Structure 1
Amino acid sequence: MSKTKTVADTRTLVRTIDGVMFDPAEWYWDIPTPLGHVTFNFKYLPGAGASLRQKVKDAFAVLLRANAPERLRRLLVRLRAFLKFLSAEHPDREIDVLTAVDLENYGASLSMRHQYFLRQVKWILVSWAKTGVGGLSHDLLLFLPVMESRSHEVGAAVRTMDPETGPLTDIEYESVVAALRDAFASGKLSLPDYALMVLAIALGPRPSQLALLKVKDLSISQRDDGSKVYILQVTRLKQGKNIRPRTLFKARELSTAAGGLLEQQIAVVTNWSERNGIDLAEAPMFPSITRSLPKRCIMPSGLEGHQGTKAVSTKIARVLRDLRVFSVRTGAEMVLFQTRIRRTLGSRAAAEGLPATVIADLMDHSWVDSSLVYIESRPEMIERIDKALALKMAPLAHAFSGTLRYRPYLDGAGGEKTIHIESLDSLEAIGKCGKLDFCGLAAPLACYTCSYFNPWLDDNHETLLDRLLTEREELLAMCDARMASVNDRTILAVADVVNRCREAALKGAE
């Protein structure tokens, strides 16, 4: 009598959706994908008997032929949690088949917040059933099509403007951008990391989209006036079931500054590609330089040297953490990561009054519904700032980064450039610039957030603070609130200087 062979009985290799071959007979799979390595460990399935363990592995071997490994890996984690629940409920049970009662009990154990876990378990069980491998009872197969489940709540962090996971306020956003510029100008941030962060903030992409960028994705052309046009082709993700990376692209026009940074980054990549024998056009825009090329080859389809999604995500979080930017809302260092930056892009677009269709295009959403959370909330990110509030918020904002000095006996003493403000009668000197070089920024407003500025310990700064607050109120009455808030971070920096001058005056009077 012939014995039917199963997938696990053979040593035939199986090809994933990305064309990667693996041995389904093994109990541990390491699958290279465009987004990084995805691992499956079938040795750890709590409570599962040998028969069910084999069926789970066989089902996943079939599903990997036509489904994204990243998604299946997440669903295996959820299936493992389901089995762990059953094992805890009945420690002596060896699970050889899953039943409808098992699924109902699992659903009843979940809190309202985590009911979407049941939806994920349902998806994997339905997919499992379609493979015909077995391991699911007849009553469960009848129950799955009619079982109700809830979707994951989307947009809670955006709706509530959560101070740790939600979008940044305008002041917080400007503080992050200013800190990045200062870090790059001072040499604390390398060109590759700065270029990566500029793209992360300007376009709000997912880390995986940044990881998959190639040099050939940037095109440079010239207008009639000689200025350059930079167009970056960004791979689209989550555009439908099992559509793989670098098959669909969205063209994004970059600013001259961002495009120029990528041109400089390509010069860095040119040296890397020559050393590793890779054609420059096919080279990653942000190659991995921490390990040798063979160890960083994600998959054999032209992605040699690319960083994985986790590596890029970790790098972005590390750079943002090292900036040590404080929040005026919490008074503590901000918790920063790319998802917050991405949410900020959507929220800022909504605050400017852009429709959901435009926000969906900016966020690269497949469905406009995904962008409605920003329209529905339209968070009021423009706080009304008066003098008392500005003086109170100033120490938390850390907007002023210069050094206060006593006014010299003669204002013109020394070779430093004197900074003035315009009073009703004349120009009043308020400090010196320690840069000793040309600066194209508008003094004195730009000076207060510059680390080279040395304001003097006197009361002229309060005059400027009053003027800025008055102008803000006038703009709020006449035009869009976003226009009125353009100097908010400068207001907090001036207020910080005013506070310090007052403290110095009090100490001097003691």
Structure 2
Amino acid sequence: MNRWAEQAEADEELISRDGYKFRFGDDRWRLSKDEAVPVYAVKELLSPDLYLAFRLVLAFYATTTSAGFVRSCFYHCKIYLKATNGQQPFSVESLISYRSMLDKKTEWYLGNLRIVIKQWHAMGYPGIAEEVIQVLSKWRLKAGEKGYAVQSMCPESGPLTDTEMQGVIQAITTAFSEGRLALVDTALTLTFALTGRRPVQVTALKIKDLIKQTGKDGIDRFVISFPRAKQFYQGWRRSFSKFPISEDLWLVLQQQATAVQQEFTNMIGGKVPAKLIPELPLFPNLSVLNPNISLEEQLRMDYLHMRTSKTGNLMCKVSKAINVTSERTGQPIKLFPYRFRYTLGTNLAREGKREYLIAEALDHTDTQHVGVYVKNIPDIVKHINKAVALRLAPLAQAFQGVIVVSEKDAVRGNDQASRITNGSKGLGTCGSYGFCGAIAPIACYTCNRFQPWLDGPHETVLERLINERDLVLKQTNDLKIASVNDRLILAVSDVVSRCKALKEEAEYV
């Protein structure tokens, strides 16, 4: 069977594209920190010769392509073998039978299976007849459904609206400042939210990927050099793309980098050598740190980096901690990394960006997957009048403070410096004892420290905001700019509605 069979018999040690060592004869191949392929799972479904040939083909992919691709190929082969158990594996009859079991949404399963079979035949291993290749080459398979969450604008899994996004970002920063969110959770979530990068890219970051650049104009600019993903034959952290970020995100990530250095110092019982600090993972998995292997050697691999699967768990935890309500569903917003990616692509399409610019912003190699954004530019509420705002307000729950009957009933009510006005009349009281750089009274209504007075002129504030929105829309014809204060409008509307309800209740009593 040529040299591959000899290597199989010798149980040769192989190295995955991401640098992980595994033996050909192992039941499970660990190919990266995120992927381990249980090759033994198809052993009972194949004859000894076919099982050997299958593993030889899989070993070729394991050593030359991404671990995720290998996993996908393996599982689609496994699904096929189980579905056609009792028929001759990889025969024309079994493949036709399997195709008949698939529908429009699942026919793409045959894609990876066809790739494996063609490579198997090209490598000269027994088990694949020439007629199988001829049949597979003639088949025109339907591609998998792309971008359902984006196309449907699903309120639970699709792109976030501007109002939802504003609420999420504000709630994250508030929860962090109040100690309800850990630094690592805050840094990770904000990185996803503000860059739209894939989990595999964010978890692959090292401290050295945070770059500060000072231009000729003396202005500091901040970028993250993200390791690229889905580069078929390129290994882990082999190519990069830069993404500009705000100074606010930069400062949070610098705090995270400092915390990581301290965590490694605590774990190894001494200072991390200066030359290794830039190599430390920005989001580490310290539970796998091996004291018997040099830190420098471990940092060459990916296993000290957070597993991508953990990012989903962290997003669930963050969702519960911030508990932001969607104005579309009236329920807490569900967060996961790809929702932020969908949001970035959708917003760029809404702004009229060309497909190649959207592809570049999302770090796609080409434009074949970005059409879903351009073809599905979502509708935005073009006109929010007072009635619409009052109707949406209870769903959005953008107001997080507490309404008080009068100034004397408020926290810090005896401190005139805490009084919030619209320039002529009092609106409420600020209950925060710390410094606040926000612009009052506009920013106050979405702050959980704000205590609106029951008789404050909140309707006047609401009408002014709506009039300003209409004016900006008329002058710019840009919905994104005009809608920048939509969450604030909903928060003020909520205050107006609650004050009205409290007054009616008092009159009834």
TM-score (norm 2): 0.90
Report 1:309-348 matches (<5 A). 309-348=308-347
**Cα contact 2:349–2:377 (8 A) shared by 1:** yes
**Cα contact 1:236–1:250 (8 A) shared by 2:** yes
Q: Any stretches of 5+ residues in structure 2 without a counterpart?
A: none
**Cα contact 1:46–1:84 (8 A) shared by 2:** no
The residue number in structure 1 matching 2:356 is 357
Counterpart of 1:42 in 2: which secondary structure? Answer: helix
Rounded Cα–Cα distance in structure 2 between residues aligned with 1:52 and 1:152: 29
| 1:348-406, Cα deviation, whole Å (9 max, x unpaired) | 11222222222121111111232232222221234532222211111111110101101
Counterpart of 1:253 in 2: which secondary structure? Answer: strand
AA aligned opposite 1:248:
S
Q: CA deviation at 1:289?
A: 3.6
Rounded Cα–Cα distance in structure 1 between residues aligned with 2:194 and 2:501: 39
The residue number in structure 1 matching 2:220 is 228
The 3 A distance-change label for structure 1 pair 306 and 295 is: farther
Q: 1:482 aligns with which of 477, 480, 483?
A: 480
**Cα contact 1:47–1:86 (8 A) shared by 2:** no
The residue number in structure 2 matching 1:269 is 260
Rounded Cα–Cα distance in structure 2 between residues aligned with 1:31 and 1:294: 21
AA aligned opposite 2:187:
A
The residue number in structure 2 matching 1:102 is 94
The residue number in structure 2 matching 1:253 is 244
| 1:444-492, Cα deviation, whole Å (9 max, x unpaired) | 1100000110001125112211222222222222211112111110111
Q: Any stretches of 5+ residues in structure 1 without a counterpart?
A: 88-92
Counterpart of 2:392 in 1: which secondary structure? Answer: helix
The residue number in structure 1 matching 2:229 is 237
| 1:73-97, Cα deviation, whole Å (9 max, x unpaired) | 111111111111112xxxxx3x554
Rounded Cα–Cα distance in structure 1 between residues aligned with 2:413 and 2:114: 77
1:159 aligns with 2:160: no
Moved more, 259-268 or 199-208: 259-268
Q: CA deviation at 1:60?
A: 1.5
1:447 aligns with 2:444: yes
The residue number in structure 1 matching 2:16 is 16
Q: CA deviation at 1:246?
A: 0.8
Q: CA deviation at 1:32?
A: 3.8
The 3 A distance-change label for structure 1 pair 236 and 420 is: same
**Cα contact 2:28–2:38 (8 A) shared by 1:** yes
AA aligned opposite 2:234:
I
Q: CA deviation at 1:128?
A: 2.2
1:384 aligns with 2:376: no
Rounded Cα–Cα distance in structure 1 between residues aligned with 2:320 and 2:150: 21
The 3 A distance-change label for structure 1 pair 67 and 413 is: closer
Moved more, 45-54 or 109-118: 45-54
Rounded Cα–Cα distance in structure 1 between residues aligned with 2:144 and 2:261: 44
**Cα contact 1:170–1:381 (8 A) shared by 2:** no
Counterpart of 1:8 in 2: which secondary structure? Answer: helix
Rounded Cα–Cα distance in structure 1 between residues aligned with 2:88 and 2:291: 42
The 3 A distance-change label for structure 1 pair 52 and 450 is: same
Counterpart of 2:394 in 1: which secondary structure? Answer: helix
AA aligned opposite 2:368:
D
Rounded Cα–Cα distance in structure 1 between residues aligned with 2:113 and 2:400: 52
The residue number in structure 2 matching 1:90 is none
Rounded Cα–Cα distance in structure 1 between residues aligned with 2:450 and 2:135: 70
**Cα contact 2:35–2:71 (8 A) shared by 1:** no
Rounded Cα–Cα distance in structure 2 between residues aligned with 1:107 and 1:145: 14
| 1:191-235, Cα deviation, whole Å (9 max, x unpaired) | 222222222111111111111111111222434675533232111
Q: CA deviation at 1:4?
A: 11
AA aligned opposite 1:145:
S
The residue number in structure 1 matching 2:453 is 456
The residue number in structure 1 matching 2:161 is 169
The residue number in structure 2 matching 1:86 is 84
**Cα contact 1:48–1:96 (8 A) shared by 2:** no
The 3 A distance-change label for structure 1 pair 7 and 40 is: farther
The 3 A distance-change label for structure 1 pair 236 and 5 is: closer
1:308 aligns with 2:307: yes
| 1:324-355, Cα deviation, whole Å (9 max, x unpaired) | 22211111122221111101011111222222
Q: CA deviation at 1:290?
A: 4.4
1:405 aligns with 2:397: no
AA aligned opposite 1:40:
P
The 3 A distance-change label for structure 1 pair 264 and 258 is: same
**Cα contact 1:400–1:448 (8 A) shared by 2:** yes
AA aligned opposite 2:468:
E
| 1:291-337, Cα deviation, whole Å (9 max, x unpaired) | 54469999773445211222234323432343222211111122221
Rounded Cα–Cα distance in structure 2 between residues aligned with 1:9 and 1:246: 33
**Cα contact 1:206–1:338 (8 A) shared by 2:** yes
The 3 A distance-change label for structure 1 pair 401 and 46 is: farther
1:434 aligns with 2:434: no
The residue number in structure 2 matching 1:507 is 505
Counterpart of 1:252 in 2: which secondary structure? Answer: strand
Counterpart of 1:247 in 2: which secondary structure? Answer: coil
The residue number in structure 2 matching 1:199 is 191
**Cα contact 1:293–1:304 (8 A) shared by 2:** no
**Cα contact 1:282–1:302 (8 A) shared by 2:** no
Rounded Cα–Cα distance in structure 2 between residues aligned with 1:305 and 1:293: 10
AA aligned opposite 2:421:
H
**Cα contact 1:459–1:501 (8 A) shared by 2:** no
1:132 aligns with 2:108: no
**Cα contact 1:16–1:66 (8 A) shared by 2:** yes
1:39 aligns with 2:37: yes
Rounded Cα–Cα distance in structure 1 between residues aligned with 2:468 and 2:60: 66
Moved more, 325-334 or 468-477: 468-477
**Cα contact 1:46–1:83 (8 A) shared by 2:** no
The residue number in structure 1 matching 2:209 is 217
**Cα contact 1:346–1:359 (8 A) shared by 2:** yes
Q: Report how many residues are paired.
A: 496
Q: CA deviation at 1:7?
A: 4.4
Moved more, 202-211 or 15-24: 15-24
Q: 1:70 aligns with which of 30, 49, 68?
A: 68
Q: CA deviation at 1:16?
A: 2.7
The residue number in structure 1 matching 2:463 is 466
Rounded Cα–Cα distance in structure 1 between residues aligned with 2:205 and 2:292: 19
Counterpart of 1:360 in 2: which secondary structure? Answer: helix
Rounded Cα–Cα distance in structure 1 between residues aligned with 2:4 and 2:141: 37
The 3 A distance-change label for structure 1 pair 101 and 6 is: farther
The residue number in structure 2 matching 1:419 is 420
The residue number in structure 1 matching 2:200 is 208
